Amino acid sequence: MTTDRGAAFYMADIRNKRPTRRRAVAVGELKAGPVAYPLIVERRLPKGDALVMAEVAGLQGAKMASALMPLCHPLPLELVRVRCEPVPERHAIRVYCECATEARTGVEMEALAGVNAALLTLYDLSKPVEPALGIDAIRLLFKEGGKSGLWLHPDGMTDAEREHYRPRDMARLHDVPCAVITLSDRASRGEYEDRSGPVLVEGLRRLGARVDHVEVLPDGIDPLAEHLRSLAAHGVRICLCTGGTGLGPHDVTPEALRLVADRHVEGLAEMFRSESARHTPLAWLSRAEVVQVGRMLVFALPGSPRAAKQGMDILAPLLAHALAMVDGEAHA
């Protein structure tokens, strides 16, 4: 198959995406009408129990999504749940398909494939008694995971649907004061444009944080250490530093963090290296560091835009909980 982006189609390259927990729920309805509806819910159709068969077909449909849609990535599904809910006021059967896994791409197509397979099976078993059937309102209800977190369909959910599925978003940093510091001699002299800092700023703001402090500093221990103390004194809660974590003679960001640290958070630094190593073995050469300075958490991340983006993706689900632990409001 051609990889030319000008071609008619291509399969999305997801190799550089980080695996995260994914979940999606799709929904649709069979308009059964007054004749077929009671036969379905009373399980009296000539071909057999349509509700049970529809749930089995939904399971199979979700698992076969990549076989039905050529550009859909095959995924090892860890959960598929299909349920059929009678809606007497509309003489309809409302079908839900919930899919979940840990992967680099979402499971919404699997959920939609499951709903369609279940609805078609209901149609097939009901048509001998009522040919005037309809399939309607197939849509994604919500999806979770990935860098976007929770997405809800604009048409919304009923209270019963929300209670049953309990969609979960990653914890937000609502108006939390944050800072981003880029450490680079050349960027501080204006010899090249800083591209890593803006990636981190965008990631924090996407979580709802308030990023009032964005700095580019030259490599060095004392200037960074002094700046971190000042930020902590002014109430900044999270500071993301990018650059200076390598093995070169000017890479001294970890030394600056150790100079001002009240507490070291080794687990987060090791998690960052471990998760980054899924993309490149060079991650083990990073001296990424995480420390606590007063009530402020400081993260030293590598200096490339790609590493900054990966770092933000890795840390985003944990930042709010980490701050809650600092404040004594949560436990590990």
Task: Give the residue extent of every domain in the chain.
Answer: 20-164, 177-327
Cα angle for residues 80, 84, 86 (degrees, 5° grid): 165
Q: Which backbone phi and psi does 239 adopt, to 5 degrees?
A: -125, 120
State the pLDDT at residue 1. 45
Averaged confidence pLDDT in the chain:
92
Confidence of residue 331 (pLDDT cuts 50, 70, 90): low
The CA distance from 20 to 194, in Å, is: 28
State the pLDDT at residue 9. 82
Outline where DSSP puts E strands in the chain: 20-31, 79-87, 92-103, 134-144, 151-152, 177-183, 210-217, 238-242, 263-264, 289-293, 296-301
Q: Which fold has domain 20-164?
A: Alpha-Beta Plaits (3.30.70)
State the pLDDT at residue 5. 57
237 has a pLDDT exceeding 90: yes
State the pLDDT at residue 279. 74
330 has a pLDDT exceeding 70: no
Mean pLDDT of 301-328: 89
The CA distance from 44 to 27, in Å, is: 24
Say what the alpha-carbon torsion angle 243, 249, 250, 254 is, to the nearest 10 degrees. Answer: 50
Contacts of 166 (CB under 8 A, 6+ apart): none
CATH 3.40.980.10 fits 177-327, yes or no: yes
Query: How long a stretch of residues is the chain?
Result: 332
Say what the alpha-carbon torsion angle 33, 34, 36, 40 is, to the nearest 10 degrees. Answer: 100
State the pLDDT at residue 3. 54
pLDDT, one tens digit per residue, over 192-226 is 899 999 999 999 999 999 999 999 999 999 999 99
Is the pLDDT higher at 15 or at 144?
144
Per-residue CA distances from 258 to 11, 72, 97, 221, 293 (Å): 45, 47, 50, 10, 10
Is there a shared CATH topology between the 20-164 domain and the 177-327 domain? no
Mean pLDDT of 222-231: 96
Q: Work out the angle between the directed axes of helices 305-315 and 196-206 (0-180°, nearest 10).
A: 20
Out of 4, 13, 49, 124, which one is annotated catalytic? 124
Mean pLDDT of 8-26: 88
169 has a pLDDT exceeding 90: no
The CA distance from 290 to 269, in Å, is: 6
Active site residue 124: yes
10 has a pLDDT exceeding 80: yes
DSSP symbols for 225-290: HHHHHHHHHTT--EEEEES--SSSTT--HHHHHHHH-SEE-HHHHHHHHHHHTTT-GGGGG---EE
- CB-CB contact of 177 with 236 (8 Å): yes
Residue type, 237: R
Least confident of 14-28, 74-88, 105-119, 224-238: 14-28
pLDDT, one tens digit per residue, over 266-310 is 999 998 888 888 777 888 888 999 999 999 999 999 988 888 888
Strands lying side by side in the sheet with 263-264? 210-217, 177-183, 238-242, 296-301, 289-293, 263-264
* Nearest residue to 125 (alpha-carbon basis) of 41, 27, 26, 25: 41
Confidence of residue 15 (pLDDT cuts 50, 70, 90): confident
Question: What sign results for the dihedral spanned by CA atoms 38, 47, 115, 111?
Answer: positive
- CB-CB contact of 237 with 177 (8 Å): yes
State the pLDDT at residue 141. 97
Mean pLDDT of 218-244: 96
